Chain A
Amino acid sequence: MIGEALARPILGVAYLLASLFFILCLRGLSSPEQARRGILFGELGMLLAVVATLLHWQILDYTWIFAGLIIGGAIGTAISLTIPMARMPERIALSHAFGGLASALVGVSEYYDSAGRFDGERFRLGALGIESFLGFLTFTGSLVAFGKLQGLLGGAPITFKGQNKVNLLLFLGALALLATALVIPSLALPFYGLAVIGLLLGVLAVIPIGGADMPVVISLLNSYAGLAACATGFALDSKILIICGALDGASGLMLSLLMSRAMNRSFSNVLFGAFGTEPGAAAATTGTALPYNEATVEDAAAVLAAAQSVIVVPGYGMAVSQAQHAVRDLASLLEARGADVKYAIHPVAGRMPGHMNVLLAEANVSYDRLFDLEAINDDFARADAVLVVGANDVVNPAAKKDPKSPIYGMQVFNVEQARSVLVLKRSMSHGFSGVENELFFLPNTMMVLGDAKKTLLGLIAAIKGAE
């Protein structure tokens, strides 16, 4: 145990170095070669910060600290080492929930400890209020997102009449409570009221959002978790918390902007639009009676076997059926026969930013075969075959030419320009957005219905059998 006079400068220097390490950690992520070294910097920074904090002069007892570190560390390790990559979106949502809850609880704990003594410390009170509000909002919002991803709540938007008005009223109520707390710091009710509204608003804000919009919501919750940590920093006057919160907040905000831009939708549209509740006019008129080419696995295999250049477009369906390894096996087989195989990765394919990249990396696909939208969109016209594995909206031509379509304006792959398009799909039912996809009814499209993984294994067997 060392005194405050000695501990204060030690903590100060340790936090300063840790902040530097965290920035280096994020910088490492600018290339796959340096990324792991970057993470090592992050781990060092965290270790430094935590060990230094144990010297904090206000800490009198270590029982609960070590108990908490051991329990949390064990749970974190267990989840991280066992969770399959396809479940990453759920893990990310859950970790936002933990992050939000941690900030919120520290806020309440600090408030409870100093309750009634906030007269000269209104800034701190305000920061604590914002911290618990944002923390609890992130907590319940992320739990709902987790429930939707896990299928516990159904992926479809849950809406009721006047929903946006209720949310707006709750938000204004929260502002009013915050103002009341600042004017009359001795009142406890406004502070706890803020916490309760945060809990409610988290649920209400996320239930109307559909599964296909999850990448935006997850990024946005990431940003809120960061801002909650930031508010903690203001309340505790801790620069390292402000810095890390700002880094997290900036990253979440940037990702959600990227995702919304890729869908050509504004934030407010994602948050308040309840996408997919009313089928657009185009979807309603076309119906499902159109003829389409349903192909057998053998037909599809013949097309692939004859193709010199193949582009694979993976989507959420690949994650659901865990088909990434089968995709890679098929690609390797085609490559061994002399074909060129590339992967086209859409920014919003899957349920979180970068979802497809992680799955394909897991299946050992070299990352220089993965191409972004801009990099590959001109190649479709020259491709012999496109293999769409469980993707829907990102290959819907309606986004380019049908102003009535709900996804009009979204950037999509020009798959229909390829010589032939093979679509692996569970059934002819509509995807999450409920939008009809005319790609499925084009003459150069072959629909291969059924579980993606089984179909892929069938394709591999058929191509080998024909050799």
Chain B
Amino acid sequence: MSTEQLIVGLYVFMLATFVGYQVISRVPPLLHTPLMSGTNAISGISLVGSLVAAGAQHNQVSTALGFVAVICASINVVGGFLITDRMLRMFKKGGAGKDKAPR
């Protein structure tokens, strides 16, 4: 990694942090748990690093570590999106809370 690459990386980091802050500060407390599991799924993007490590055939140790990393990251990606959607499906407004009063 050259100095230029590092600087460009820091630019990206800085801007993404600001975008993240702006976007996330608009999330209401109601949705804080889905926010957590959603960002968790997104940060499972480290999967792209794991995939290359698992498939590059550099040496057996790197491949094995990459393989375990692929498992961990894909648990988060698949599980994170599924459970976030499962949660969000439950959030309903209006009548839903009243029409099923106990007998």
Contacts and interface: CB of A to CB of B under 8 A. Distances in A.
A352 B36 contact: yes
Interface string B47-68: 1111111111111011101111
B62 A113 contact: yes
A148 interface: no
A65 B31 contact: no
Contact of B34 (A232, A333, A345, A354): A354
B100 to A, nearest CB: 7
Contacts of A369: 97
Q: How large is the interface on B (under 10, 10 to 19, 20 to 34, 35 or more residues)?
A: 35 or more
Contacts of A91: 37, 79, 83
Contact of B51 (A50, A79, A219, A244): A50
Contacts, number: 395
Contacts of B80: 76, 80, 95
A99 B31 CA distance: 21
Contacts of B19: 23, 247
A109 B65 contact: yes
Q: Which bucket holds chain A's interface residue count?
A: 35 or more
Contacts of A25: 38, 42
A243 B16 CA distance: 5
Interface of A: 15, 18, 22-23, 25-27, 29-32, 35-36, 38-39, 42-43, 45-46, 49-50, 53-54, 56, 58-62, 64-65, 67-69, 71-73, 75-77, 79-81, 83, 85, 88, 91-92, 95-96, 98-99, 101-103, 105-106, 108-110, 112-113, 121, 123-124, 127, 218-219, 222, 225-226, 228-230, 232-252, 254-255, 258, 328-329, 331-333, 335-336, 345, 347, 352-355, 357-358, 361-362, 364-370, 372, 460
Interface of B: 1-3, 5-6, 9, 12-13, 16-17, 19-21, 23-59, 61-63, 65-98, 100-102
9 contacts: A29-B38, A59-B52, A73-B74, A77-B82, A103-B49, A113-B59, A234-B6, A234-B9, A251-B35
